[in-house]
């Protein structure tokens, strides 16, 4: 069955147009127009079933996310939200929504299933000690795919994590891959897309959001006060997405990784 036929079967409507959408480094994403007048997003990839479960979890706790409209093996149909330029009001709305989501907590760190960014596995086995979780399930996962000099520095840093990170921060519900490209602004709203959810320190999402840019003050006004010492912990949390980018996209991200390690004295 072709993709067009799958969509018609799931929606009961005829597809009139398919338009590629931006992004999609790790999956194929298209806007699909139907003869009913509705538009939706069709996303194809090996992790879309897990993503659907994450979106439903986020929706249940009131986080702004696209509605899941249909599923088939390797295919996810989502509500289409027209994108508009961001504004101070929509950035403030993002901060408020993220704070609300972070107030939802779990019993342990991790998630009920592992995940992946393309070829980079993301183990989420539950753990009650946060530095241990961050070392074993993030910084030291897949080290066989990294240069030996970086691996040695990561192992040295992992030994120091109990002195750098809180032992038992609240296990907040995280987006897990929160950079600006995974936020969709529509009108005065901001919606989360492309989650990689798990429970962990809320500062993980905040650190990721500053890795490739800096949110405006309106975001922080919406989110509220940040924990004391968050600036010192930020590089530890930024190191994980930097390692993911190094593994997925190559040596162009080596400088980012080594720069973060330098800042941590590793």
- With cut-offs at 50, 70 and 90, classify the pLDDT of residue 104: very high
CA distance 85 to 88: 10
Which candidate in 35, 149, 177, 205 is catalytic? Answer: 177
Rounded alpha-carbon distances, angstroms, from residue 205 to 120, 197, 237: 19, 10, 9
Q: Do 202 and 246 sit in the same domain of this protein?
A: yes
Of 45-49, 108-112, 122-126, which range is least confident? 45-49
Indicate whether 159 and 223 sit together in one domain.
yes
Confidence of residue 259 (pLDDT cuts 50, 70, 90): very high
Q: Tens digit of pLDDT for each residue in 162-190?
A: 999 999 999 999 999 999 999 999 999 99
| 107 labelled catalytic | no
Give 219-233 as a DSSP string: HHHHH-PPPTTHHHH
Same domain, 123 and 30: no
What's the domain range around 177?
88-263
Looking at residue 137, which CATH number applies to its domain? Answer: 3.90.1200.10
Q: pLDDT exceeding 70 applies to what percent of the chain? A: 98
Same domain, 119 and 215: yes
Contacts of 69 (CB under 8 A, 6+ apart): 10, 11, 40, 77, 78, 79
CATH of residue 23: 3.30.200.20
- Residues 20 and 100 both lie in one domain: no
Is residue 73 located within the same domain as residue 111? no
d(CA 92, CA 95) in angstroms, rounded, equals: 5
Do 94 and 65 share a domain, yes or no? no
Same domain, 92 and 215: yes
**What are phi and psi for residue 50, nearest 5 degrees?**
-65, -40
Query: Which of left, alpha, beta for 244 (phi over 0: left; psi -120 to 50: alpha)?
Result: alpha
- Let me know whether 67 and 105 are in one domain: no
Total domains present in the chain: 2
> If 0-12 CB within 10 Å is exposed, 13-18 middle and 19+ buried, where does residue 27 land?
middle
What confidence score (pLDDT) does residue 266 get? 86
């Amino acid at each position: 069955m072709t993709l067009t036929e799958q969509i018609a079967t799931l929606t009961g409507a005829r597809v009139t147009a398919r338009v590629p959408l931006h992004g999609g480094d790790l999956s194929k994403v298209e806007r699909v127009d139907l003869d009913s007048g509705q538009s939706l997003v069709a996303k194809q990839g090996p992790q879309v079933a897990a993503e659907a479960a994450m979106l439903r979890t986020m929706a249940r706790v009131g986080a702004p996310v696209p509605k899941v409209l249909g599923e088939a093996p390797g295919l996810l149909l989502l509500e289409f939200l027209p994108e508009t330029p961001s504004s101070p009001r929509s950035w403030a709305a993002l901060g408020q929504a993220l704070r609300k989501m972070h107030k939802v907590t779990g019993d342990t760190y991790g998630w009920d299933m592992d995940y992946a960014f393309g070829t980079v596995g993301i183990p989420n086995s539950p753990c009650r000690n946060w530095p241990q979780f961050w070392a074993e399930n993030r910084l030291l996962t897949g080290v066989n795919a990294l240069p030996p000099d970086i691996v040695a520095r990561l192992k040295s840093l992992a030994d120091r994590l109990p002195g750098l990170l809180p032992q038992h921060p609240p296990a907040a519900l995280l987006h897990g891959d929160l950079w600006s490209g995974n936020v969709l602004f529509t009108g005065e709203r901001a919606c989360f897309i492309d989650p990689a959810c798990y429970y962990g320190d809320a500062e993980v999402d905040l650190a990721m959001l500053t890795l490739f840019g800096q949110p405006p003050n309106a975001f922080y006004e919406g989110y509220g006060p940040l924990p004391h010492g968050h600036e010192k912990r930020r590089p530890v949390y930024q190191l994980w997405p930097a390692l993911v980018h190094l593994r997925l996209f190559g040596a162009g991200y080596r400088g980012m990784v080594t720069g973060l390690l330098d800042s941590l004295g590793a």
